[in-house]
Chains A and B, each alone.
Chain A
């Protein structure tokens, strides 16, 4: 049995998304900027995709900019707000300690340029409160950028409340909704969101395509200069197959959200309940406000990469925030930010589900994970020291 439980990394494309893309490779191959009929056919498809994405987010089509993915959208949103702020002598930004690197590294770049960033603490409930945002806002705050939902630990942030606070304070609000789009109900107007990024490959769409919603009138800075595509805000001939695939995938996800997500959440809850039985383990992330597909644990006494390799040998594809899987010497900044110490952060496991997963697969995971954890503990000197009292349990 092969179980793909790494849907937060990327998803399999849906048949609908594939079908929506294929005409644009060979039949409707025109450049949307061309005047002739072949180009205009492509232009129509582009407009339809933009309208479809806008409908899913509750905004106007002209407020959607297509990008090469979530990272680009995050970069553009943050840099735009920062430049706009600087023009008004505002150079303070509010974010969280557990953002994706697409956000964090952009913020670090701005810090090197003299901006000041407040990273809200995420230790309590592995989440932030809207009050924390309210308390952090200063007269010189030019942007609040907090993720909609965390990719590693699944916490869903109080976006509507934060949106209301930002609106009241007159501070632009960006949320990177890469893990939320297609999985949670989003309405940028009701939630007072000024900018939102998303990425198609997280909801069964293609890789390398995403979108940035920008409230009408908000001044954007270009990352890529060139032609006048995307209202002059993002140059380059549009990735029409990708954009059409994304629009179809998002529409499909939003139309079936109310039937799919409760089923995914039920599988998630079975996993959380089952894996919680493993002694000296701990759930990462907010238990109440949680992505329907996210399961994240730390298991004391073992290391995540060896866990992943053994799970893979049993057909289970998962991920970990251990240092060995991150390619650096430190475990994931997200796990450290929620207060996991290095020793246990190395032993993390993330299983991320989609509606393609089945109850049988959950059974398989629930059989295999405890076995593999016990085996690795049985060969671990750390576990022996914990068991013999030479070392104190952390979890």
Chain B
């Protein structure tokens, strides 16, 4: 199907970093089954560096590809770098997504930020809540 770029199809057919991390240092989940996509990201963090990352996704091809690409983009990076990952960067790395699928890249960005927030919460690290998305209030599923 020419619906998606080759990069999307590659990450969809051969997703990187699929699975879970039992002893994760941060876990983030966004989306809901009613909307048709849920992403869950697991982070292993050592000395502020993301040493391992895994994901599970319920969703369409672009949701799976966006999760895969996003995990690739933060693996081995510092948590500060990971915080700067944008949905736009994920979509660009996938050579673009169809307009009605751009929210999949937004979910990927939000899932990572939620996992980082979970890490901060668990470790009592102070942060600015405004930096984090609030999935409860996003209009996507309305």
Contact = CB atoms under 8 A, between A and B. Distances in A.
Given A312-B1, A379-B56, A343 B64 contact: no
B56 A381 contact: yes
A362 interface: no
Contacts of A323: 35-36
Given A329-B141, A343-B34, A381 B1 contact: no
Interface string A326-338: 0101010000000
B100 A327 contact: yes
B87 interface: no
A309 interface: yes
Nearest to B1: A312
Contact of B60 (A306, A341, A380, A381): A306
B15 A309 contact: no
Interface string B26-56: 0001000111111110000000000000001
B12 A306 contact: yes
A305 interface: yes
Contacts of A380: 38, 56-58
A379 B100 contact: no
Interface string B107-139: 000000000000000000000000000000000
A382 B60 contact: no
Contacts of A306: 12, 59-61, 63-64
Given A329-B35, A331-B36, A379-B15, A322 B57 contact: no
Q: Which of A324, A327, A343 has the most C-beta atoms of chain B within 10 angstroms of its own C-beta? A: A324
B58 A302 contact: yes
A30 interface: no
A303 B36 contact: yes
Contacts of B9: 309
A1 interface: no
Interface in A148-198: none
Contact of B58 (A309, A313, A331, A382): A382
B79 interface: no
A122 to B, nearest CB: 21
A382 B38 contact: yes
Given A329-B141, A379-B18, A303 B59 contact: yes
Contacts of B37: 303, 324
Given A309-B1, A327-B100, A379-B56, A343 B33 contact: yes
A342 B15 contact: no
Contacts of B64: 306, 379
Nearest to A380: B58
B20 interface: yes
A379 B41 CA distance: 12
A310 B60 CA distance: 11
Contacts of B40: 381
A332 to B, nearest CB: 12
**Which of B13, B20, B58, B60 has the most chain A CB within a 10 Å cutoff?**
B58
Nearest to A376: B58
Nearest to A345: B36
Nearest to B8: A309
Interface string A94-121: 0000000000000000000000000000
Contacts of A312: 1
A379 B60 contact: no
A305 B36 CA distance: 10
A304 B60 CA distance: 7
Contacts of A201: none
A310 B15 CA distance: 13
B20 A384 contact: yes
A305 B56 contact: no
A383 interface: yes
Interface in A22-71: none
Interface in A295-317: 301-306, 309-310, 312-313
A314 to B, nearest CB: 11
Nearest to A377: B58
Nearest to B20: A384
B108 to A, nearest CB: 14
Interface of B: 1, 9, 12-13, 15, 18-20, 29, 33-40, 56-61, 63-64, 100-101, 140-141
24 contacts: A302-B58, A303-B36, A303-B37, A303-B63, A304-B60, A306-B61, A309-B1, A309-B9, A309-B61, A310-B13, A312-B1, A313-B13, A327-B100, A329-B36, A329-B141, A331-B36, A341-B34, A346-B36, A379-B64, A380-B38, A380-B58, A381-B29, A381-B56, A381-B58
Given A303-B36, A380-B58, 9 more contacts: A303-B60, A304-B60, A305-B61, A324-B61, A324-B101, A346-B33, A379-B57, A379-B64, A380-B57
Return the 5 tightest CB-CB contacts between A and B, nearest first.
A324-B60, A305-B60, A343-B33, A381-B40, A381-B56
Interface of A: 301-306, 309-310, 312-313, 322-324, 327, 329, 331, 341-343, 346, 379-384
